[in-house]
Amino acid sequence: MSLLVCVCEARAQNKLTDKDCLACHSDPTLNANVNGKTASLYVNENKLKNSVHGMFTCVDCHKDVTSLAHTAPPKHVACASCHTDAAQAYAHSIHAQKRKRGGKAAAACQDCHGDAHQILAVNDSKSPVFHGNIPATCGPCHGQKFLMESYGLSNEPVISYQQSVHGHATANGSMNAAVCTDCHGAHLILPAGNPQSPIYKFNVPATCGRCHTRIGQAFSQSVHGQAIAHGNWLAPVCTDCHGIHSILPPRAPNSPVAYQNLSSDICARCHAGVRLSQEFGVPGGRVTTYFDSYHGLAAEGGSLVAANCSSCHGVHNILPSSDPRSTIYPANLVTTCGQCHKGVTRQFTLTPVHLGPGLYPNNIATVAVRWVRLIYIFLILIVIGAMFLHNAILWRSKAAKLHRMQNPKMERMSANQRWQHLILLASFIILVITGFALKFPNSWFAHTLGMGEHWRGIIHRVAGVILIGAGVYHICYLTALKEGRRLIRDLAPRPKDAFDLWGTMRYYLGLSSEKPKFGRFSYAEKAEYWALVWGTALMGLTGIMLWAKVWVGDHLARWWVDIATAVHFYEAILATLAILVWHFYQVLFDPDVYPMNWSWWDGKMPIEQYRHEHELDTESLAEAEAKAAAAGEDDPGSSAAGHGAG
């Protein structure tokens, strides 16, 4: 309804009372049109009396209302007229600054304190600014993803806080757990980059120390606290180790300061770098020597009793070894080490813990360990190298003798096919090593190569070009030569291959007494050949796309390069595992061909073995046996070419 004009006895000379105002404003249907929007003018008398402003009259705040008859709505009440200090603090806050720049969604007084006629005291459990209600008051704005993104912020802190140790404690009714205003402030909320902000990096220890008093005092005296006091930005503060909004209890498995995570997730983050050593003289190599020690290895293996960094150095009270209060001060090492090693003596503590190359060049233990390392590296190379050479000579001689005894033979692979296979084998191995060396730069094979990225990239691309060239040549071979055309005919998939696979599984599982018979190529050889064709084409295409990624990105959507990268990597894994699991079994580990199938080397295969594996290839068998009979030899030296797989 439209604004009512109260018709009452004029009291122009007397101050209006609440009873006068509520004569109209106690009507729940009382509305007005304010700036084109319908606004309720209803005031709940009971809530007003119970509010923090209940001691005042209406006109104490609405000073421009001097008579009962008023057609224009009263001016907006300025909270600053009474709350001067809070208003001045708010005026400098990030909320006020955002509102000045047109950010109407930035919080104002009523957004946090509630309806002006129902504002409750801060110690009232129903107040939105009551300690336990603060997260729920800040959350509706700061939890909105799109609203926060419009200000260049994230809504993740709200979610993280709810799951944190502070959030859980507050939700369970704790009045001591930190809420938003404990860290950010109430009215003077400033961005983290402002030196006056309580969450500015150098102010964080004091902010956390308001609740964690003893920890704050210990930290302020520590080597980290002293570095922060001297303005060292690289020194860690509370939030660098514990997190910001997502702080978890130290015993939580996902906590960065959990026993099993502390060394690798927290300490190593700074001490594994060289900047601390180069700029501040902090001894380097401490992280690597720890993880090389029994303590580090056991901790990496999941031990919860092996010493980590804090076991020796302390947690918040970390001090240099020269400080008599330090847990690693020489006179205190018996106590420190004795926490785990019961009965330890001073003699035991004299040996350096972080023992590594170059750390203690003149220490007797360092010198002795260095000589032991050199001697054993030499022994390993000589002894194991000699053993390998000895066994390689014996294996070659025995394998060659066994191969010569298997007569008569037939030609399984022609010289052309063997050369194709050899080029394919060499280029594939080089591609695998140089490709995975890029993806896993810290792997043993990447270090074994001893090459930089420049030469790795060149070798990888050259091998790729050779592989693609071999594929192009193979297509020409299949179409231009007679043996190539016969090869592709014999390798063509047929329905019988599926039945052969089923029959083979039944036979070797003992479910059937009849073993399937194969032609020139079994289902396993056909599957491998066509997988090779598919893999070579796919790897070649994606490899060219990655090589010419700028051209591809200019002519196609940029995500095509990302897809090519993923396909190239996972297809490489698939191809490598297929060779190791499928192909190597066929030519190396199958008991029928052990120690290897020699066809790839000299193209020869015993006729009896071929008959056993490819009984249905009567054409090849008849031709080989006829040539063997004509030659009158146990081991025919030649036969019809072109019966093998490329």
Which tens digits make up the pLDDT trace of 468-503? 999 999 999 999 999 999 999 999 999 999 999 999
Average pLDDT over residues 289-302: 86
What does the pLDDT read at residue 247? Answer: 94
Q: How confident is the model at residue 309 (pLDDT cuts 50, 70, 90)?
A: very high
Residue 236 in any domain: the answer is no
Spatial distance between the Cα atoms of 539 and 571, rounded to a whole number of angstroms = 7
Residue 88 lies inside a defined structural domain of this protein:
no
In the prediction, which pLDDT does 523 show? 93
Higher pLDDT, 27 or 565: 565
What mean pLDDT comes out for the span 177-193? 93
Return the pLDDT at 572: 93
Question: Would you state the torsion angle of the CA atoms of residues 340, 342, 343, 346, taken in this order, to the nearest 10 degrees?
Answer: 10
Q: What is the mean pLDDT of residues 525-531?
A: 93
| pLDDT recorded at residue 529 | 94
pLDDT of residue 358: 58
- Asked if residue 471 lies in contact with residue 537, where contact means CB atoms within 8 angstroms, the answer is yes
The pLDDT value recorded for residue 6 is: 35
- The parent domain of residue 493 ranges over 406-631
Number of domains in the chain: 2
Question: What is the C-alpha separation between 590 and 588, in angstroms, rounded?
Answer: 6
Residue 618 lies in a domain: yes
State the number of CA atoms in the 13 A half-sphere of 338 facing the CB. 11
Q: Could you write out the DSSP letters of every residue in 541-599?
A: HHHHHHHTHHHHHHHS-THHHHHHHHHHHHHHHHHHHHIIIIIHIIIII-TTTTT--TH
Query: What would the two tokens of residue 36 be?
Result: 């084109």
Mean pLDDT of the 514-529 span: 92
**Contact call for residues 500 and 522 (beta carbons, < 8 A):** yes
- The contacts of residue 171 (CB under 8 Å, 6+ apart) are 162
Q: Looking at the domain assignment, is residue 246 inside a domain?
A: no
Q: Which of the listed residues 38, 57, 77 is the one where a domain comes to its end?
A: 77
Looking at the domain assignment, is residue 575 inside a domain?
yes
Q: Is 179 left (phi over 0), alpha (psi -120 to 50) or beta?
A: beta
Within a domain: 197: no
- Packed helices 453-480 and 415-439: angle between N→C axes, nearest 10 degrees: 150
Long-range pairs for 469-478 at CB < 8 Å and ≥24 separation? 470/420, 470/423, 470/424, 470/427, 471/536, 471/537, 471/540, 473/420, 474/420, 474/646, 477/416, 477/420, 477/646
Residue 565 included in any domain: yes
Q: How many CA atoms lie within 13 A of 521 on its CB side?
A: 23
Say how many C-beta atoms besides its own lie within 10 A of residue 344's C-beta.
16
Is a pLDDT exceeding 80 seen at residue 33? no
**Of 77, 100, 120, which one is at a domain's C-terminal end?**
77
| 3-state secondary structure at position 524 | helix
| E strand or H helix that includes residue 307 | none
**Which is more confident, 7 or 368?**
368
Give the CATH number, domain containing residue 540.
1.20.950.20
How many percent of the chain have pLDDT more than 70? 93
pLDDT bin (cut points 50, 70, 90) of residue 303 is confident
Of the listed ranges 12-21, 59-68, 617-626, the least confidently predicted one is 12-21
Average pLDDT over residues 279-287: 79
Comparing 248 with 440, the larger pLDDT belongs to 248
pLDDT over 70 (residue 7): no
Nearest to 174 by CA among 221, 216, 131, 140: 131
Q: What is the pLDDT of residues 123-169, one digit of tens each?
A: 889 999 999 999 999 999 999 998 888 888 898 999 999 999 999 99
- The residue out of 40, 57, 77 marking a domain boundary is 77
Tell me how far the alpha carbon of residue 519 is from its chain's centroid. 50
Q: Is residue 319 part of a domain?
A: no
To the nearest whole number, what is the mean pLDDT of the chain?
86
Dihedral sign for Cα atoms in the order 601, 606, 607, 611: negative
Q: What percent of the chain has pLDDT over 90?
A: 47
Residues 489 and 617 sit within 8 Å (Cβ to Cβ): no
Enter the pTM of the model: 0.66
Please give the pLDDT value at position 294. Answer: 84
Identify the bridge partners of residue 31 per DSSP, sorted by sequence position: 40
The whole-number pLDDT of residue 632 equals 63
